[in-house]
């Protein structure tokens, strides 16, 4: 890493940590995943034995801990997006480009700086899931399985994917620089468009393959499990393919933003 890029990355980290939003959203993610994880664990652990297609205890634990990505990825996406759009909205991008005129260096620094914050959000989300779902599964279910190698791998991959979502958020913010529009796109896509699209595509023979290449489905593939599997969300790609699809989304969005909105004059 060159000295210019290193300095730009440090500057981006200082900008993010200079406010309160980043840690407030991290706490929000921890609380949200704790609430959802506890509810999922209770619904599975307390389900009657006569319920249709009951999950095996270990599969239930994997599904709950794997929901870190499926249910929490909106938080790192928003944080990554705001790292770009807030500068445009508050017109601080001019000062940023005066200190580092090379826009490619600034954009690269934003992408790199987003990763550790995304990983932090992943740790917060995983902690929320474990603290809430673990005791419920241990007491009311057949065990929390926190010593199981595959469960630990699922949690670690969930943290990694959360970091990648923050990077993808920066790429999106580079393309959609209007802050309100970018947040609406993130919320609309993560909470409505993709869940409905995955369910609809999985229900049509021949189109279920398309659903695997949606960004949320690709991230689930990296983690190795998904709550969508339990509601007819279709099968997943291999881990390596999921990583490639996520990387492709980030590259395409970043390049598109760099060549269009990022290339315009700053006023």
Question: What stretches in the chain show pLDDT beneath 50?
Answer: 232-233
The closest alpha carbon to 24, from 73, 78, 68, belongs to 78
The whole-angstrom separation of Cα 61 and Cα 223 is: 13
Report d(CA 167, CA 180) in Å as an integer: 19
pLDDT at 198: 83
State residue 196's pLDDT score: 86
Nearest to 83 by CA among 14, 28, 161, 6: 14
- DSSP notation for 192-250: IIHHHHHHHHHTSTTTHHHHTTSHHHHHHHHHT--GGGGGT------HHHHHHHHHHHH
Residue 145 DSSP SS3: coil
Which H or E element spans position 77? helix 74-89
pLDDT recorded at residue 157: 94
Question: Which pLDDT score, from 0 to 100, does residue 51 have?
Answer: 53
Q: Note the pLDDT of residue 48.
A: 63
Please, what is the end-to-end C-alpha distance for the chain in angstroms?
30
- Nearest-angstrom CA–CA distance, 62 and 74: 21
Tell me, rounded to whole angstroms, the distance of Cα 117 from its chain centroid: 11
pLDDT for res 57: 79
- Per-residue pLDDT, 200: 83
What percent helix, strand, coil does the chain show, rounded to 5?
80, 0, 20
Q: How far apart are CA 51 and CA 262, in angstroms?
A: 53
pLDDT tens figures, 88-97: 888 888 888 8
Residue 165: per-residue pLDDT: 95
Q: Which residues contact 103 (CB under 8 A, 6 or more apart)?
A: 97, 258, 262, 263
60-105: per-residue pLDDT in tens? 888 889 888 888 899 999 999 999 999 988 888 888 888 888 888 9
Listed residue (63, 37, 26, 11) closest to 135, CA to CA: 37
């Amino acid at each position: 890493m060159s000295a210019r890029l290193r300095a730009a990355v440090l500057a981006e980290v200082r900008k993010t940590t200079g406010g309160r939003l980043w840690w407030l959203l991290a706490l929000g993610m921890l609380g949200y995943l704790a609430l959802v994880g506890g509810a999922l664990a209770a619904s599975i652990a307390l389900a009657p034995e006569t319920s249709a297609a009951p999950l095996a205890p270990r599969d239930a634990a994997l599904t709950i801990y794997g929901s870190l990505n499926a249910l929490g990825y909106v938080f790192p996406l928003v944080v990554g997006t705001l790292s770009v759009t807030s500068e445009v909205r508050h017109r601080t991008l001019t000062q940023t480009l005066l200190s580092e005129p090379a826009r490619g260096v600034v954009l690269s620094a934003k992408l790199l700086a987003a990763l550790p914050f995304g990983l932090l959000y992943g740790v917060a989300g995983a902690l929320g899931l474990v603290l809430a779902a673990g005791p419920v599964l241990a007491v009311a279910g057949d065990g929390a399985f926190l010593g199981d190698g595959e469960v630990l791998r699922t949690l670690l991959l969930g943290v990694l994917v959360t970091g990648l979502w923050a990077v993808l958020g920066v790429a999106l913010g580079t393309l959609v620089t209007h802050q309100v529009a970018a947040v609406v796109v993130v919320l609309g896509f993560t909470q409505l468009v993709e869940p409905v699209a995955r369910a609809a595509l999985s229900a049509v023979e021949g189109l279920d393959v398309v659903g695997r290449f949606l960004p949320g489905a690709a991230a689930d593939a990296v983690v190795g499990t998904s709550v969508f599997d339990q509601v007819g969300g279709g099968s997943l790609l291999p881990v390596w393919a999921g990583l490639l699809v996520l990387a492709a989304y980030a590259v395409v969005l970043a390049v598109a933003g760099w060549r269009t909105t990022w290339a315009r004059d700053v006023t």
